[in-house]
Amino acid sequence: MSLTIAEIRNSTANARRLMERAKQDRFAVGAFNIDNQETLIAICRAAQAKQSPVMVEVSNGEVQAVGIDNIRDMVDNYKVEYGLEMFINLDHSPSVEAAKRGIDAGFEFIHIDISQARKDASYDEIVDETRQVVEYAKFTGALVESEPHYFGGSSNMHDEAIDYEEIRKTFSTPEGAREFVDTTGIDTFAAAIGNLHGKYPVPKQLDIDLLRRIREAISCNISLHGGSGTPGHFFEEAAKVGVEKVNINSDMRIAFRTTLEKVLKENPDQYAVMKLMPEVFQAVQQVVEEKIDTFGSAGKAQV
């Protein structure tokens, strides 16, 4: 069921107030990807147990799998059922048109990621297309996130080691962050400080000193993508420095799949899917609860 413009604007205003609270109280909001209803339920249960605000986020592929209006409806239904402060983030939207569809659907947060979709896009192209989304989002008040650089990795398991000498070449800089934010007018800057998409055989290392200098250079929100496989103390420090949003995907997918494989092996004669899922729900919920504790958002929900 479509939301009215008034309902969308009220929700985006609440989302903006959440980010202001995160900035003021020094906690980060977890943005958790879904590609099925079961994962959404696990996120809701974790948010309810921890009394934490959360973002549910979907990539372009996940939108295609579930349906943009279905995602909006499911989140709204479970938000009421569980009594949550919960919003939707369109993650890594590959084009201006796709971002506009998310805004039209009432998503409160929009991430426009031109460099992810077109790795050869010029800086000027990224700026121009990001500004188009910022301008379009003014109608509903949706918060727009972007970055002028490409994030490495993918939301999957990786066997290779992390080549930080190569990765450092793509790190954000305070000067670059300030210029991009001032030029585009975005609400959230996606910083690159050692965060990578996916999970690797060694823990990720975040450059907190660089993050501190970026925080001093810009006043808008800061997000960290690629949060899976990162030792928790980095996020605790990042939240204290001033990160308002952290994306989590791979850790949840791994918990979902490995637990489901275990349950299927233990119950070879069971074909009722609903009877196979309770342990899977719990495994994903546990991941989300652990992230909420690390981000410092437990007890911060306002419903």
CA distance 42 to 196: 24
The token pair at 220 is 């808008």
Looking at residue 202, its pLDDT comes to 55
273 lies in some domain: yes
Looking at residue 158, its pLDDT comes to 53
70 lies in some domain: yes
272 lies in some domain: yes
300 lies in some domain: no
Range of the domain at 143: 5-295
CA distance 147 to 102: 18
CATH of the domain at 203: 3.20.20.70
Looking at residue 149, its pLDDT comes to 80
The question of whether 91 is a catalytic residue gets the answer: yes
Looking at residue 143, its pLDDT comes to 98
Amino acid at 253: R
Q: Fill in the DSSP letter of residue 169.
A: G
Q: Which residue has the tokens 């059922």?
A: 81
Between strands 54-58 and 29-33, the pairing is: parallel
Give me the helix-helix angle, 208-217 and 232-241, nearest 10°: 20
Q: Fill in the DSSP letter of residue 208.
A: H
Quickly count: other Cβ atoms within 10 Å of residue 198's Cβ. Answer: 18
Looking at residue 2, its pLDDT comes to 80
Looking at residue 116, its pLDDT comes to 81
In this structure, the chain runs to a length of 303
CA distance 292 to 29: 8
95 lies in some domain: yes
Looking at residue 196, its pLDDT comes to 75
Consecutive sets of 10 residues in the chain, 303 residues long: mean pLDDT of each?
A: 91 98 98 96 98 97 95 97 98 96 98 89 96 98 93 57 71 96 98 76 80 98 89 94 96 96 98 96 98 98 95
Query: Which residue among the candidates 35, 69, 91, 124 is catalytic per the annotation?
Result: 91
Between strands 86-93 and 245-248, the pairing is: unpaired
CA distance 111 to 48: 26
Do 253 and 155 form a contact (C-beta atoms < 8 A)?
Answer: yes
110 lies in some domain: yes
Looking at residue 156, its pLDDT comes to 56
Whole-prediction pTM value? 0.93
Residues 66, 67, 71: CA angle, nearest 5 degrees: 80
303 lies in some domain: no
Q: Quick one: which of 197, 26, 10, 57 has its CA closest to 115?
A: 197
Give me the helix-helix angle, 96-104 and 123-137, nearest 10°: 20
Residues paired with residue 90 on neighbouring β-strands, in sequence order: 58, 110
Residue 50 host element (H or E): helix 37-50
Q: Fill in the DSSP letter of residue 109.
A: E
Instruction: Look at the chain and report how many structural domains it folds into.
Output: 1
